[in-house]
Amino acid sequence: MQPVRKELFCDIAIIGGGVGGCAAAIAAARRGRHVIIFEKGVSLGGLATNGYVPQIAGGIEGICLEFTKRLEAEGQLRKLYPDKDYYRNPSFEPEFGKIVLEEMVTQAGARIIYDSTCMDVEMDGPYIKKAFFYTKGGVVSVAADIFIDASGDADLAAMAGVPYEVGGVDFAGLNMSTTLGSRWSGANLKKYLAAEEAYKAEQLAKGVKNPHPLVYDLEEAAIQRGELVRHVCNKNTGFFRVIIPNTPEDNVDFVTFSFHSYFCRNTDCEDITRQVLEQRQLMKGFLKFLRTEVPGFENLRLVGTGSIPGVRDSRRIFGEYMLKAADIVCGNKFEDGIARFPEMLDTHHPTSSNLVFQRHIHMKNPSGTAITLKSGCRAEMHPFGVPEGVEARPSPRDYCEIPYRSLLPKKVDNLLVVGRCCSAEFHANGAMRIIGPAMGTGHAAAVAADVALKENLRPRELDGKLLRKILIEEEGVPLDKPCEGYWAELREQEGEFFVNYGDAIGIRPAGN
Ligand SMILES: Cc1cc2nc3c(=O)[nH]c(=O)nc-3n(C[C@H](O)[C@H](O)[C@H](O)COP(=O)(O)OP(=O)(O)OC[C@H]3O[C@@H](n4cnc5c(N)ncnc54)[C@H](O)[C@@H]3O)c2cc1C
């Protein structure tokens, strides 16, 4: 290694400035700790901002709720249901996401170091003594009492010798499909929606029972003509759009996660390069299609592509508890539950652009609130063999918790791991990797680190039940109450469950 040019010291060092790392930095600094957050890029937010994924999914609680409210106060949030007093999948301006996170982190008193890529560690038995960073000015080191790996890819944990897994065991170690986020400008949504309305009326008049959205049928026709490839769009709904706030209806900015690569190996730089090259070519072809074929998109421009690859999963550590897909499906709760998510499994299919998602698992004895309706798995869903047991999916009326033990890596004693790389099975990661729980785990890890330091304990010696109590009583995370807002409405909504086109569970209102 090159000589160390600068040595830094702190109580808690956080590697990675995504939403998980930011929540950790804010919470730890507010509890009076000397915190440094190291980020290899030059802005905060990770995938949520730099990856153009500015849509907050999952339960929005704790620091995530504060982030959401601050974006709203800045006029930079778009609510999916403007008339409701709750948030459900709100989108935000990604550039403001970076600014609001910088303000929250610095106002809390944490220090940010950009342009610093963690590249090595020095160990002292089971403890990380120092982490080393590649920077423009040479190697920088940090010595800390506790480290938090928020790199999304468990980079620090892997360097420190924590065992990990990559990809799905039922998919021969392949990762979920990846999607480079992209930002587009100049869509006349008003014109498109009018054209879609007319198309729908036309289809109904022809006797088509449930007409597709116009863009979906145009995409399918272009695919059949050989002018578009299947993995440019979502087979089920047409291309997926998230509208950026403050852009007028006749000149909309949106982001889309529609350009999938399959058979991905997300810790291999050559394969990541292949995916990104492929996805930018898909965007180029799709731009031409939209401009020439879809009403309202004639003046569309591609104005940004993600500056970090659209990796949904890579390394997942082996921790004191590996969250199971079955925990999510059955709605399991834990005595040391420190974050939660009332969401479906969202495995983006590793190999099939026809199916796009796998949102069920197979279980021999599903319990709890698991729903066991059949969708009739096709061979393509499980290319290496259909697992034993019945199909099981989580109930939209329930939620699952993430235990503190899933943040505690095996083998290393002064490390916590947060965000999309904590200890969870492949299909469980497909649910808990979203922004809400990523921030929830960051928040919880910071409180755990603070209390462990105060009590002179190793994080794994801290009582997870106590941590949960502190999160509820001191940090205002409502883990003791059922999920509110949108989720309360779902709980009360009457109707029959059915497996929808996206392989998830929907609720069909009575009489439909
Ligand atoms: C295409 C796509 C669509 C998605 N859609 C949604 C959605 O609609 N809603 C939703 O809630 N979630 C969505 N997600 C998931 C969600 O965006 C992420 O899983 C979540 O934001 C992860 O946050 P994180 O902080 O754990 O990791 P990341 O966002 O990956 O952040 C990690 C940070 O660490 C930095 N870093 C990495 N390695 C190092 C290193 N060695 N040294 C220093 N810094 C390092 C990175 O630059 C990055 O800033 C989507 C993800 C993808 C890929």
pLDDT tens per residue across span 467-479: 999 999 999 999 9
Pairing of strands 4-15, 138-149: parallel
Q: How many domains does the chain have?
A: 2
Whole domain around residue 263: which residue ranges? 178-305
Decide: 117 and 159 in contact? Cβ < 8 Å.
Answer: no
Q: Whose CA is nearest to atom 15 of ligand 1?
A: 434
For residue 377, being part of any structural domain is answered with no
Domain match, 18 and 148 both: yes
Closest ligand 1 atom number to CA of residue 312: 53
Task: Tell me which of 119, 151, 348, 441 to substitute to probe ligand 1's pocket, judged by most ligand atoms within 8 Å of the beta carbon.
Answer: 151
Please state the rounded mean pLDDT for residues 448-472. Answer: 98
Mean pLDDT of the chain: 94
For residue 382, being part of any structural domain is answered with no
Residues forming a β-bridge with 179: 260
- Ligand 1 centroid to residue 286 C-alpha, Å: 25
For residue 376, being part of any structural domain is answered with no
Closest ligand 1 atom number to CA of residue 56: 11
Domain match, 421 and 275 both: no
pLDDT at 237: 61
State how far the alpha carbon of 269 is from the alpha carbons of 50, 165, 168, 203, in Å: 19, 17, 19, 47
Closest ligand 1 atom number to CA of residue 133: 42
Domain match, 161 and 195 both: no
Q: pLDDT by residue (tens digit) across 169-206? A: 999 999 999 999 999 999 999 999 999 999 999 999 99
- Ligand 1 centroid to residue 150 C-alpha, Å: 9
For residue 488, being part of any structural domain is answered with no
Alpha-carbon span 438 to 420, nearest angstrom: 6
Q: pLDDT by residue (tens digit) across 55-107? A: 999 889 999 999 999 999 999 999 999 999 999 999 999 999 999 999 999 99
Q: Which amino acid is at 276?
A: V
Task: Tell me which of 239, 349, 434 to substitute to probe ligand 1's pocket, judged by most ligand atoms within 8 Å of the beta carbon.
Answer: 434
Alpha-carbon span 381 to 489, nearest angstrom: 32
Q: Is 299 exposed, middle or buried (0-12, 13-18, 19+ CB in 10 A)?
A: exposed
Domain match, 58 and 103 both: yes
Tell me what percent of the residues of the chain surpass a pLDDT of 70.
98
Q: pLDDT by residue (tens digit) across 491-508? A: 998 899 999 878 899 998
pLDDT at 379: 85
pTM of the predicted model as reported, rounded to 2 decimal places: 0.96
Q: pLDDT by residue (tens digit) across 315-343? A: 999 999 999 999 999 999 999 999 998 88
- Ligand 1 centroid to residue 375 C-alpha, Å: 31
Q: What kind and span of H or E run contains 166?
A: strand 164-166
For residue 389, being part of any structural domain is answered with no
What CATH number should be reported for the domain holding residue 11?
3.50.50.60
Q: pLDDT by residue (tens digit) across 347-392? A: 999 999 888 889 999 999 999 999 999 987 888 999 999 999 999 9
Closest CA to 24 of 463, 444, 402: 444
Q: What kind and span of H or E run contains 287?
A: helix 269-293
Domain match, 117 and 183 both: no
Domain match, 153 and 260 both: no
Domain match, 26 and 163 both: yes
State how far the alpha carbon of 500 is from the alpha carbons of 214, 456, 508, in Å: 20, 51, 10
Q: Whose CA is nearest to atom 13 of ligand 1?
A: 434
Domain match, 161 and 186 both: no
Domain match, 157 and 24 both: yes
Query: For ligand 1, which residues put their CB under 6 angstroms from it?
Result: 15-21, 38-41, 46-48, 51, 53, 55-58, 117-118, 150-153, 155, 179, 181, 257, 308, 310-312, 419-420, 433-435, 438
